Amino acid sequence: MVILPSDYADEFQQFCENNPQPCPVLEVLAPGRFEPGIVAPLADVRSDLPRYRVFRDGEPTADPTDIHDLWNDDLVTFLLGCSFVAEDALMKAGLLLPHIAETGFVPMFRTTVPCIPAGRFNGTMVVSMRPFTYDEAACAAEITKHYPMAHGAPIHVGDPAVLGIKNLAKPEFGYPVTMTEDQLPVFWPCGVTPQEAIVNAKPPLAITHAPGHMFVADITSESTRV
């Protein structure tokens, strides 16, 4: 989720359109509106996330559990897809996801892969990582390519240095996961990417989900499959 002043909304929407894999848009709410009309009618984006991240002039300043006190009628809310949407399909295919058993938080890494800028929004992609064997990685790629709202297929399998990632044991967001010798790291674009763009755009106020603390919609994961 990303909430911005209306003066920044068009540029951010263009940023999402320029970078649809890390920033797939599910719904955009009109200025001041806090109830989604499509993915979760009657929900309230001011209180229905487990934790938020507040940015002031591009700097993260707080991680509250409620943003009623920050709300105003000029704010525009973007609800974005998440790789968690495809995890049910991965598990039904028999693919184990160690982050679910170990910490509940997938490891996420900053990369050196540039996004296509739009106005004041620019930056590099953030990716999430799940370990699989070679054959499992091929299966995971085949499954997730059918879920564009969950970031689609992986962007890379194997050497993390190709993405500019130096240490898999030290993710910038989330927590590391156990990997066995026969597993490869598999990387998907991540919905934390907009937070990097917000740091560079420096809006006076921006509110997002705290990494790993997503908004849960009413639509099913399978309804987004194509």
Full DSSP string of the chain: -EEEEHHHHHHHHHHHHHSTTT--EEEEPPTT--S-SSSSTT--TTTSSS-EEEEETTEEEE--S--GGG--TTEEEEEE--GGGGHHHHHHTT---HHHHHTS---EEEEEEEPPPBTTB--EEEEEEEEE-HHHHHHHHHHHTT-GGGT-S-SEES-GGGGT---TTS-SBS------TT-EEEEEE-TTHHHHHHHHH--S-EEEEPTT-PPP-SS-SGGG--
How far apart (Å, rounded) are the C-alpha atoms in residues 172 and 121? 20
Average pLDDT over the chain, rounded to an integer: 97
Confidence (pLDDT) at 82: 92
At 186, the pLDDT band (50, 70, 90 cuts) reads: very high
Confidence (pLDDT) at 98: 94
Which residues, in sequence order, are CB contacts of 18 under 8 Å at separation 6+? Answer: 115, 116, 117, 118
Mean pLDDT for 53-79 is: 98
How far apart (Å, rounded) are the C-alpha atoms in residues 206 and 62? 11
pTM of this structure:
0.95
How far apart (Å, rounded) are the C-alpha atoms in residues 68 and 49? 12
Mean pLDDT for 110-123 is: 98
Please say if the pLDDT value at position 78 is more than 90.
yes
The residue whose two tokens read 């591009």 is 58
User: In 3D, which of 213, 85, 197 has the Cα closest to residue 149?
Assistant: 85
Structure tokens at 49: 């996330």
- In the chain the domains, ranked by start, together with CATH numbers, are 2-81+194-224 (3.40.1640.10), 83-189 (3.30.2040.10)
Mean pLDDT for 46-72 is: 98
Q: What residues form DSSP beta bridges with 137? A: none
Mean pLDDT for 131-156 is: 97
pLDDT digits (tens, 9 = 90+) for 7-18: 999 999 999 999
Confidence (pLDDT) at 192: 95
At 39, the pLDDT band (50, 70, 90 cuts) reads: very high
Mean pLDDT for 194-207 is: 97
User: In 3D, which of 128, 151, 114 has the Cα closest to residue 211?
Assistant: 128
Structure tokens at 179: 């990997």
How far apart (Å, rounded) are the C-alpha atoms in residues 154 and 158? 11
Confidence (pLDDT) at 167: 97
At 105, the pLDDT band (50, 70, 90 cuts) reads: very high
Mean pLDDT for 139-150 is: 97
Please say if the pLDDT value at position 54 is more than 90.
yes
Q: What residues form DSSP beta bridges with 129? A: 187
Residues 98, 90: contact at Cβ < 8 Å? no
At 84, the pLDDT band (50, 70, 90 cuts) reads: confident
